[in-house]
Structure 1
Amino acid sequence: MKYKYAIVIVSAFMMMLGFGYTHAQENTPQYVVALTSFFIDPQYFKDEMTQLGYIEGENIRYMTFSFVDLGENAMPEDFMNEYNRQLQIMIESDVDVFVTNTDTDAVFLKATVGDTPIVFARSDDPVATGAVADLITPGGTITGIVTNRPHERRLQILKEIKPSTDKVYYLYSPMTLEAETVLGQVQVVATQLDVQLIPVPTPDAATAIDAMKNMPEGVDWIFLTPFVPFDFAFFAEMQTTAIANGIGIAGVIDDPSPMYLMGYGPNIESTDRQSARIVARILRGASPADLPVEIAENYLTINLEMAQTINLEIPLGVLRQANRIMRPGDFDNLPTFNPNNNTDS
């Protein structure tokens, strides 16, 4: 199971390719923190740690994964092998705290790192995954941040955007430990809204692409949850399907994407910084067992460019709720991810 799961998280690490990640410096400062999974760049985390008095190269050293040497033709198995190799180096490096992207990552990591503290930056239900015993008193070596049930509210917002919504294509990863729990929570809301939820497990890119090609008629939205496969062919197929059918894609975080008509959930920068503050408390002597799981704030992003593309008008009431509105042309000024770029971005 450990190696099957590694394939899933390696797909997420592929997005780091080309961002010039480097390993920690050779000198040995007082603390060592292993950043095992971050979206694109852990700089938000590092910046927050700096503000808290932890200066890289002076009193703290970071270890991160680096896949730039694998090249653009590397296969998922290559990333898995490199991930396992570098993780073993981290384990053998007397790390003070491990930081993961999710609670699922933390649970799998726990089996390998023993009693070393682990902080997860995002989670939907860490009690359901077994990451913590209780949100107030985690009771073990793991703590972190829980999202404020964004998937249920996201479905409600979709109904507000398009009141005629009655069928939602719900893509989820069965490899995420709380997937079934979250699905059940969203299903309750769907029933209340008189919306048919069509759950589609997507354990790999091939399954996800097939799901797009065989999407049933009458779907109003494509609803993403953590973590659908990170695969460019799948993304292209999903965008093509959405535009061809005049339907919107609803993302799991608020970070803007040209593909998504809306995104609702935690903000990556905010939760990275929040997790840094938890790590700082642990380095100062606090025990993860006694640090309550913190709640992440949810944010709403609306993409008017995609709404225009599929000819969907966004109600003014929804726009007033949005924390960020992307208008036609705004994406032209944002940096884009290029997997074949092997330099710093």
Structure 2
Amino acid sequence: MRKFVFTAGIILIFFAVLYAFLPLGTDKKVYKVGVLQFTSNNLTTLEGFKDGLSELGYREGEDIIYDFDGPASAKEDLVPYMQKLLDGQPDLIFVSPTPAATVAKQMTAGTNIPVIFAPVNDPVASGILKNMRTPEENITGVRLSSSDGRRLQYLKDVVPSVKRVFVPYSPDDKSAQTSLKMLEEAAPKVGVQLVKKPFFRDTDVLDDRSYVPVDVDAVLLPREGLVMSRIKDFVTLCIDRKLPLSTVRFKQVAQGALTGYGFNGYDIGKQSARQAHMIFSGSSISMLPVEVSEDYLFINLKTAKDINVKISDAILRQAHNIVR
């Protein structure tokens, strides 16, 4: 018994001495990721980002931790949210969409903190980047393809009777301005007229029934956070008035919009996770060009039935996702 205790004591002393002389640098790196989001539209994007990193071997709570207090509901909240993230000394900041990316760029300027955006409508037009092939400074990510004109065409293909399309937009949102430019270029070719109207934080499309004119044939939401954050209200209004509603996100078609042509936020999150992994592996931002998201056609057949719209089989065969 004494021999056993003596031997065990020697072993414990050996490992204690070994541990004491191990170099401090051998501690496993735990990455800290700050998350800045404007509105709750992109929560599924964050989910995809986390799952993508998990699949790449980063276990939450062990290899990686996320600093996220929830999305900012107002643009003026983005700066204090961002400052809190910076105070936490993150290894990387994940941001979405354009307003959050703009604030992150401004507040990390001159630092070596990498920033990944997912998604941004047009990073050059919004002033976030000058060169998407070899991003300067500390920011890269995933942008949306320039497909709002194609989405307008699909709206017309899904409901050929559409002639006047209502487009609410935030006047000071650069992403909204990019969407409007694409839509304005496409409208004459598609054969529709755009009816544009400013949208603000206090706009209530359900209380103000006159906000959406009675003589429009459809509603199309541009790619911007504020307007898309009211998707439930627009779905309620459009179903009540039997109006086709077009959006850019599959999630919002699943929530009741009739159709959409655009991106799957979860997939974009996983796409950006690969960029984060490359940064953690030692790649510099300039080695990571901005990637472009893939676009798909989405259709909600339940909503089509609710608003009395018959969609042709030819169109249904083109859809990537059909909600039944």
Bin of the TM-score, shorter chain as denominator length: 0.7 to 0.9
Match status 1:43 vs 2:47:
yes
Give, in angstroms, the shift of residue 276 of structure 1: 0.8
> 2:34 corresponds to which residue?
34
Q: Which runs of 5+ in 1 are unaligned?
A: 1-27, 68-74, 328-345
Give the root-mean-square deviation of aligned CA atoms.
2.7
Change (3 A) 1:76 1:192: closer
Pairs within 5 Å for 1:220-299 = 220-225=217-222, 226-229=224-227, 235-236=232-233, 238-255=234-251, 256-299=253-296
Change (3 A) 1:86 1:162: closer
Give, in angstroms, the shift of residue 311 of structure 1: 0.6
Partner Cα distance (2:205, 2:61) in 1: 42
Q: Summarize deviations over 1:38-87 as a string: whole Å, max 9, x none.
A: 733533222211222222233322111148xxxxxxx968x966x66553
The one-letter code matched in structure 2 to 1:118 is: V
Partner Cα distance (1:293, 1:299) in 2: 20
> 2:97 corresponds to which residue?
102
Give, in angstroms, the shift of residue 267 of structure 1: 0.4
Larger radius of gyration: 2
> 1:25 corresponds to which residue?
none
Partner Cα distance (1:252, 1:110) in 2: 25
Give, in angstroms, the shift of residue 135 of structure 1: 2.0
- The normalised TM-score by structure 1 is 0.76
> 1:319 corresponds to which residue?
316
Give, in angstroms, the shift of residue 231 of structure 1: 6.2
Pairs within 5 Å for 1:31-180 = 31-37=31-37, 39-40=42-43, 42-66=46-70, 86-114=81-109, 115=111, 116-180=113-177
Percent identical residues: 31
Change (3 A) 1:145 1:92: same
SS at match of 1:165: coil
Report if the CA contact (8 A) 1:131-1:143 is conserved: no
Q: Which runs of 5+ in 2 are unaligned?
A: 1-27
SS at match of 2:225: coil
Report if the CA contact (8 A) 2:82-2:104 is conserved: no
Larger displacement relative to structure 2 (306-315 or 137-146): 137-146
Partner Cα distance (2:60, 2:168) in 1: 39
Give, in angstroms, the shift of residue 309 of structure 1: 0.9
Report if the CA contact (8 A) 2:158-2:312 is conserved: yes
Change (3 A) 1:92 1:292: same
Q: Summarize deviations over 1:158-207 as a string: whole Å, max 9, x none.
A: 11112222110012223422322321121111011221111222131426
Partner Cα distance (2:311, 2:129) in 1: 39
Give, in angstroms, the shift of residue 324 of structure 1: 1.3
Change (3 A) 1:124 1:202: same
> 1:5 corresponds to which residue?
none
Partner Cα distance (1:59, 1:80) in 2: 33
Larger displacement relative to structure 2 (203-212 or 171-180): 203-212
Report if the CA contact (8 A) 2:169-2:227 is conserved: no
Larger displacement relative to structure 2 (206-215 or 217-226): 206-215
Report if the CA contact (8 A) 2:244-2:257 is conserved: yes
The structure 1 residue matched to 2:302, chosen from 298, 302, 305, is 305
Q: Summarize deviations over 1:105-131 as a string: whole Å, max 9, x none.
A: 111122223322111111221110111
Partner Cα distance (2:143, 2:73) in 1: 29
SS at match of 2:134: coil
The one-letter code matched in structure 1 to 2:55 is: Q
The structure 2 residue matched to 1:192, chosen from 189, 194, 198, is 189
Give, in angstroms, the shift of residue 210 of structure 1: 7.0
Change (3 A) 1:86 1:180: closer
Give, in angstroms, the shift of residue 229 of structure 1: 4.0
Match status 1:206 vs 2:210:
no
